[in-house]
A and B are shown apart, each in its own frame.
Chain A
Amino acid sequence: QVQLVQSGSELKQPGASVKVSCKASGYTFTDYGLNWVRQAPGQGLEWLGWINANTGIPTYAQGFAGRFVLSLDTSVTTTYLQISSLQAEDTAVYFCVRDWGVLVPTYFDYWGQGTLVTVSS
């Protein structure tokens, strides 16, 4: 069965960096896209970007290119979200999500369990 298993919660100080991993299994990794979605406390879902697992090319939402970097390692069927220069406003649960899109995301059928990133001094 399809599974997306994310790394554990992180507590970071402002200005630090964090790298969240998402291990995929149960399907052909390069046949689907992988997205990252976050939910800040009391807020709705926010799309950060996606990476085409076949080409490795990422696409970022407005405002997320630069400090946010999406990458993947097909040899271990894992995608990564790295956030640098962390700010308090980055405190959120981060989800990795599989989608059916080839050129652009189309719909999100499997979600990771979520990783809580807390930024606090």
Chain B
Amino acid sequence: QTVLTQPPSVSAAPRQKVTISCSGSSFNIGNNFVSWYQHLPGTAPKLLIYDNNKRPSGIPDRFSGSKSGTSATLGITGLQTGDEADYYCGTWDSSLGAWVFGGGTKLTVL
């Protein structure tokens, strides 16, 4: 049972916008920074967002992150077929003394 809850799947058409939610508690999201990762099958995951809403160099501004209370959200605009991947949120859980990932969300670009 994962500590961070994500929807198993989301879908949208090319050029549209999608959001992926990540719900936790005061022990994790509520009091720690959230990061987001994109994982294409057969490759290493890639950091998309760190510290809730910051983008590493090279990540387009189509990707955005936000946090409110014990939930975080990843937004992707201008969807492309190349965005089809699994997306994971992650953060430190102070109660468990461990890093936790969400269960992952599969994005399909129809």
B67, CB-defined interface residue at 8 Å: no
A12-20, A39-47, A72-80, A84-92 - interface stretch: A39-47
> Can you list, as one digit per residue, whether each of B36-67 has a CB less than 8 Å from chain A (1) or not (0)?
01010000111100110000100000000000
Complex alpha-carbon distance, A1 and B39, angstroms:
21
Query: In the bound complex, do residue B99 and residue A35 qualify as a contact, i.e. CB atoms below 8 Å apart?
Result: yes
A45 contacts B101, C-beta separation under 8 Å: yes
Q: Judging by beta carbons under 8 Å apart, are A107 and B35 in contact?
A: yes
Q: Which A99-121 residues have a C-beta within 8 angstroms of B?
A: 101, 104-109, 111-114
Question: Size of chain B's interface in residues, with CB distance under 8 A?
Answer: 25
Asked if A95 meets B45 with Cβ closer than 8 Å, knowing A104-B92, A106-B92, A107-B35, the reply is yes
Instruction: Check B97 for interface membership: any CB of A closer than 8 A.
Output: yes
Secondary structure type dominating chain B contacts: strand
Instruction: Give the residue among B37, B99, B100 with the most A Cβ atoms within 10 A.
Output: B99
A108 near B35 with CB under 8 A, answer: yes
A29 at interface by CB-CB < 8 Å:
no
> Within 8 Å of chain B (Cβ to Cβ): is A55?
no
Specify the chain B residue showing the minimal Cβ separation from A113. Answer: B44
Q: Of B51, B88, B99, B102, which contacts A61 at CB under 8 A?
A: B99
Contact size range, A: 20 to 34
Verify B101–A114 contact, CB threshold 8 A. no
- Would A45 and B96 count as touching, CB distance under 8 A? no
Contact A44 B88 (CB under 8 A): yes
Contact A107 B47 (CB under 8 A): yes
Residues of A at the B interface (CB closer than 8 Å) are 35, 37, 44-47, 50, 59, 61-62, 95, 101, 104-109, 111-114
